[in-house]
């Protein structure tokens, strides 16, 4: 007996496949040819290790810089040897930028090097005392005095060599007058008749410094006698035994503050003790009773007791 089988045809006709095209051993194509997998390329284990090391290095470097900035920050500054410039001016010459406030940077910057080419300064050295402290030592040029020439102050050293020309007068350095010259050349000696006068000037300025006295002017008379100016008080020293007379001034000058006149020391000796002060002539102020008055004349006062204190 024959068995009947029923067949049902599917739409699409014979041989039409309903699935996607297979290839490469039956695997489906995942996308366009050459397209990278979703999520980008994968980093290998060795690459991740290198990035971690780099990140750690950068963190350590940043931490080291922060530590150095705080640990070596300059907070204490001492300045020694300055006369012409103030402490603040010297500091501004040395610490020229933000990095200069780091002592480690200063150590490298000024190692075996000094600061030069600054008016009135021979050289300056910078020493790092501790991570937060530095010491600036100023070596100024030896200046004995100055003369005025063509509206400028010409400063000269112990040998009479003009070392600086400035429009600014430096306190503590006396003006020298009475010396004759017809020209001035920077870095050359003043052309005076007798060059030994510079040793005399230096000797007087050293005495004044020794007894902590500051004179405004040193005047050399034609007879080689010397007069010192302290404001309106003129001190006649004569031409010899300067120190014996200068050493009396710290006791006398305070008594003459506000006075105007001549302190006569040219004939002073320890034995004689002869010191007199001659006040300048002054006019009596006008009053209702008298509109014009005659000068009162010069008054001489003996200062032996004051000098003997």
282/246: higher pLDDT = 246
pLDDT tier at 26, thresholds 50, 70, 90: very low
* pLDDT digits 0-9 by tens, 295-304: 344 566 666 5
Boundaries of every domain in the chain: 71-140, 145-307
pLDDT of residue 162: 92
Q: What is the pTM of this model?
A: 0.60
Give 285: exposed, middle or buried? Use CB within 10 Å, 0-12, 13-18, 19+: exposed
Q: What is the mean pLDDT of the chain?
A: 77
pLDDT tier at 187, thresholds 50, 70, 90: confident
Q: Does the pLDDT value for residue 177 go beyond 60?
A: yes
pLDDT tier at 43, thresholds 50, 70, 90: low
Give 61: exposed, middle or buried? Use CB within 10 Å, 0-12, 13-18, 19+: exposed
* pLDDT digits 0-9 by tens, 55-94: 776 776 666 655 555 667 888 999 998 877 889 999 998 8
* Fold entry, domain 145-307: Rossmann fold (3.40.50)
Give whichever of 56-60, 261-265, 281-285 has the largest mean pLDDT. Answer: 261-265
* pLDDT digits 0-9 by tens, 189-214: 999 988 888 888 989 988 998 999 99
Q: Does the pLDDT value for residue 255 go beyond 80?
A: yes
CATH number of 71-140: 3.10.20
Average the pLDDT over 122-146 and give the result.
88
d(CA 223, CA 48): 95
- Who contacts 150 (Cβ-Cβ below 8 Å, separation ≥6)? 184
């Amino acid at each position: 007996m024959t068995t009947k089988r029923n067949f049902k045809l599917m739409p699409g006709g014979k041989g039409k496949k309903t699935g996607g095209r297979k290839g490469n051993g039956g695997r489906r194509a995942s996308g366009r040819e050459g397209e990278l997998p979703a999520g980008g390329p994968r980093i290998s284990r060795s690459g991740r290790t290198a990035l971690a090391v780099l990140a750690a290095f950068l963190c350590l470097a940043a931490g080291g810089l922060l530590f150095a900035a705080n640990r070596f920050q300059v907070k204490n500054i001492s300045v020694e040897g300055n006369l012409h410039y103030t402490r603040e001016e010297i500091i501004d010459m040395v610490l020229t930028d933000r990095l200069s406030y780091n002592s480690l940077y200063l150590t490298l910057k000024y190692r075996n090097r000094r600061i030069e080419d600054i008016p009135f300064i021979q050289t300056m050295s910078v020493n790092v005392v501790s991570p937060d402290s530095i010491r600036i030592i100023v070596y100024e040029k030896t200046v004995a005095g100055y003369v005025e020439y063509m509206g400028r102050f010409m400063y000269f050293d112990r040998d009479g060599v003009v070392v600086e020309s400035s429009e600014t007068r430096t306190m503590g350095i006396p003006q020298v007058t009475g010396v004759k010259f017809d020209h001035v050349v920077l870095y050359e000696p003043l052309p005076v008749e007798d060059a030994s006068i510079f040793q005399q000037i230096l000797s007087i300025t050293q005495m004044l410094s020794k007894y902590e006295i500051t004179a405004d002017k040193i005047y050399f008379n034609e007879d080689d006698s010397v007069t010192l100016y302290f404001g309106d008080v003129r001190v006649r020293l004569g031409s010899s035994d300067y120190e014996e007379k200068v050493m009396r001034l710290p006791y006398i000058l305070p008594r003459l503050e506000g006075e105007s006149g001549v302190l006569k020391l040219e004939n002073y000796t320890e034995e004689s003790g002869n010191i007199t002060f001659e006040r300048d002539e002054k006019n009596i102020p006008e009053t209702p009773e008298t509109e014009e008055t005659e000068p009162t004349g010069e008054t001489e006062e003996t200062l032996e007791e004051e000098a003997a204190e």
